[in-house]
Each structure stands twice: as structure tokens, then as C-alpha cells.
Amino acid sequence: MTSLAGWNFTKFAEGIRALGISGPPVSGILPGAQHGTDELMTNFASVNFLDLQRREDVMDVLVDATRQYGLGSGGSRIVQGVTPPHLDMEETVAAYLGKEAAISFATGTVANIGFINALANTQSFMPGLAMVNRDTVFVYDRDAHWSLWKAAEGLKFGERLFSFRHNDVESLEEVLKEQQGKRVVVVLESVFSIDGTVAPLHEMVEVCRRYGALSFVDDANGFLVYGPEHRKFAREYEGLRQADFVMVSMKKAVGLEGGLVAGPRDAIQAFELLSGTGSFTAGMSAPAAAGTAYITRLLSEKEPQIVDDYLEKVANFRMKLLDAELPITETETCFSSVIIGDERKCVEVYGAFLEHGIRVPPYLYPAARRGQAVLRIIVNAAHTEEQMDHLVEVATKLRAQGLF
């Protein structure tokens, strides 16, 4: 038997327990405004923020697809293939994003890793079928999602990997000037879920084009929420539509699992082999694909008022937080974070909220920058005024006690 004596697992686990974290939360109900088993808590952690699974028509789509196709994919898409719901979803989402084609993955993280892997590495399958990308340079927003940095961890910083100041167009241009003459991929995000900011994509994508760089936008947090002219950030999302590639996650507005990359048809077809995560892992389930296609049409064509009503609810809630003079992030998006700073203090405040029957998740390094920990609040479409008022009351009380 291998000894664990030389490893740090016990000490690390003890440190976790000392923070008051004994394991993942457990819930016996559909994810949404409440969470738990015997005793339900008000939940401001659910990324399923439109609560669409509770709609009978949405659940019917999921159940019907489960009965016909099952829950398991049966294998990787390159070997087992996909189902008609996958094709419908990929065509529907690609059209919505203004792209020629799309390829789906099990999660948004797997999609990001697959994309970076495809463009970063040299792969030779047989004579005449090879892709040489050993010279590709990647330029990241320094606050890009963990999955994007994880995908690039094998690239040497300062040689094939560079970063620019968060959402700073001038900083991006400075880096691109230095990399002229090289094959460059610029990696951006649309809505940053920690600080709630929205990238100036209309300017950033234009800078990428000016310097001949490919642009990739991770739109995990804004998909199906922002874009229409009557909503906030319409100009930024017009820039997103001009990007070469867009990644979307199904966790947020759709409320399901899965990820997708959309872009030029030939590149998307090449990713079938080049991504790796499409070849060596199972893909999205057919029910998730069927649900995504249905919800995309629901929110973009049939009932866009669902999103408009939700955004109004978010705006009203933010006013409650601001009226209470709580230290929250500035940009009005679906994500409002209470700024704590110290990591241990953030976990302590998280525990204090739990004692009041409220779940507000702490985001620490590496999700947030060191020393800039936050409690990220996500309003759910099913939250009541009483639940939102209770959070504000508890937050005000905890702050008065000097907890943050």
C-alpha cells in the first residue's frame, strides 16, 4: 500500500475544516431560489438564475429527450457521434451568435480547454493531416477565467503567453504592437462574474482586427441575457458578434450543463479532432442539447420578456444594496458582489450569512485576485421581495458588527 505520510493532504484538509468547510452543500430540490434538504435556505448562489426548469414546457422537452435518447452520450462525439438535438442546438446557437457553425462540449470549461489546446499545439494524425501551431501566441485579459489560464499553463509566459490590464483597450494594443508579425489569439471575456464588469468588446475586437489577431470571447455569463438593442451593453455585444470565435456556457441563463464554441465552419470542423476534449471525453447529454435549443428560441424569439423582467428585478435589487450603502461592485449586471478583501474574513462572513439562513458564496483566489475576495450574489427569478430584503437586512447587520 502506498503511504501518504509524505503528502500534505491531512494538514490541508485540517485547514479546510478550520475554515468551517466540511464538504459541499447538499440539496434535495431543483436548483434555484432555495437550497437544502430538510431545512431550506435562501440561495443567492445558483447560476440557474432564470429558473426555467420549473416551467412545464421546458421540463417536458428535457423528459421527452431523456426518454428518446437517454442521459448518457455513449462516448466521445468523434467515436459515438451526436444526436439530432445536438445538431439542432449547434445550428440554433450558431445562428443566434451570427456564426457559421458550432461545436458543443460537456461544459464551458471543457470548451475553453479544447479551444486553447486546438490553437496552441502541433498535432499530426497521419501524412497530409496535421496542424502546426507551435508558434501561436496568446494574449489574455489578466482577469480571464481560471479555465482559460489552466488551458494555457504549458505555455511560457513572456514567450507564447502574454496578458493585458483588465478590460483596458490601450494595454491590449500595446501588447499587440509588440507581437506584430506573429500568429496571435486574443482571449477575452464578455461579462466578468467576480467584479460584474463588461469588456469593451466593440473596441477590443476592432483592435484585434487592426493587428491581424484572432479574437476569442468567453461569453459564459452573458449568453441570451445581453445583446438586444433595448438592453444594457448592446454596443459591447455588437462587438462580440464581430469576434472570430465565441464560447457560451449553458449554466447561466439556460440553467443546464454544457458549453459550445461557435465560429467559421472550417475551423469548427477542425476542432472535432484538434480540441482533444471532443475526442477523449463524453459530450453534452441529448436532453441538455434539446433543452438548450428550446430555451435559446424561447428567450431570443418567443418570450424575450422573461429576460427583461429578470433584469428589472436585478436592477431593483441593486438599488436596495446601494440604498443600504453596502460595498458592492459598480457595474449593473447579473452579478453583484459584496467586496470583502481578506480571504479568511470572506469565509467568516459567508458562515455568518449561513447562520441567518442565507447562502452567498465566497469567491477567493484563484477565482478572485489575492486580497480581493468577494461574496458573489446572484438574484434568481424566483426570489421574493421578502428574501431579497432579508439579505439586505442581514448584510447591514453584519457590517454594523464590523464583520466587513
CATH of the domain at 321: 3.90.1150.10
Return the closest-CA partner of residue 288 out of 253, 255, 246, 261: 255
- What per-residue confidence (pLDDT) applies to 22? 81
Contact (CB, 8 A) for 137 and 184: yes
Cα–Cα distance, 200 to 24 (Å, whole number): 36
Cα–Cα distance, 190 to 223 (Å, whole number): 9
User: Could you tell me which residues come within 8 angstroms of residue 344 by beta carbon, excluding any fewer than 6 positions away?
Assistant: 19
| The last residue of a domain, from among 269, 302, 335 | 302
Is residue 17 in some structural domain? no
Same domain, yes or no, for 84 and 41?
no
Q: List, in sequence order, every residue forming a beta bridge with 40; answer none if it has no partner.
A: 36
Cα–Cα distance, 248 to 292 (Å, whole number): 11
User: Could you tell me which residues come within 8 angstroms of residue 238 by beta carbon, excluding any fewer than 6 positions away?
Assistant: 202
Q: Quote the distance between the C-alpha of residue 91 and its chain's center.
A: 21
Is residue 366 in some structural domain? yes
- What nine digits make up the cell of 111? 470548451
Cα–Cα distance, 35 to 31 (Å, whole number): 7
Contact (CB, 8 A) for 200 and 234: no
SS3 content of the chain, % helix, strand, coil (to 5): 40, 15, 40
| The last residue of a domain, from among 244, 278, 302 | 302
- What nine digits make up the cell of 378? 446572484
Burial 250-260 (b: 16+ CB within 10 A, else e): bbbbbbbbbbb
| The last residue of a domain, from among 302, 324, 346 | 302
- CA dist 384 → 225, 294, 337, 379 (Å): 21, 27, 19, 10
Is residue 16 in some structural domain? no
Same domain, yes or no, for 190 and 298?
yes
Return the closest-CA partner of residue 121 out of 248, 342, 273: 273
Is residue 7 in some structural domain? no
Same domain, yes or no, for 176 and 75?
yes
In which region does residue 402 sit, left (phi positive, over 0), alpha (psi from -120 to 50) or beta (all else)? left
Is residue 205 in some structural domain? yes
Question: Which portions of the chain are predicted below pLDDT 50?
Answer: none
- What per-residue confidence (pLDDT) applies to 1? 54
Return the closest-CA partner of residue 403 out of 338, 357, 349, 324: 349
User: Can you give the CATH number for the domain in which 98 is found?
Assistant: 3.40.640.10
Contact (CB, 8 A) for 275 and 127: no
In this structure, the chain runs to a length of 404
Same domain, yes or no, for 79 and 147?
yes
Give the range of the structural domain holding residue 139, as residue numbers without chain letter.
56-302
- What per-residue confidence (pLDDT) applies to 391? 98
Is residue 358 in some structural domain? yes
Contact (CB, 8 A) for 187 and 148: yes
- What per-residue confidence (pLDDT) applies to 74? 81
Same domain, yes or no, for 165 and 182?
yes
- CA dist 100 → 37, 93, 262, 279, 304 (Å): 45, 10, 7, 22, 24
Same domain, yes or no, for 193 and 115?
yes
- What per-residue confidence (pLDDT) applies to 187? 98
Same domain, yes or no, for 173 and 263?
yes
Contact (CB, 8 A) for 116 and 283: no
Is residue 258 in some structural domain? yes
Q: How many domains does the chain have?
A: 2
Contact (CB, 8 A) for 157 and 203: no
- What nine digits make up the cell of 223? 449568453
Helix ranges restricted to H, 185-229:
201-210
Contact (CB, 8 A) for 111 and 268: no
Same domain, yes or no, for 44 and 141?
no
Q: List, in sequence order, every residue forming a beta bridge with 335; answer none if it has no partner.
A: 378
Q: pTM (2 decimals)?
A: 0.95
- What per-residue confidence (pLDDT) applies to 79? 85
Same domain, yes or no, for 182 and 291?
yes
- What per-residue confidence (pLDDT) applies to 78? 84
Cα–Cα distance, 234 to 200 (Å, whole number): 11
Same domain, yes or no, for 288 and 186?
yes
Same domain, yes or no, for 336 and 188?
no
Same domain, yes or no, for 83 and 208?
yes
Is residue 5 in some structural domain? no
Q: How many helices (H) and strands (E) does the chain have?
A: 13, 15
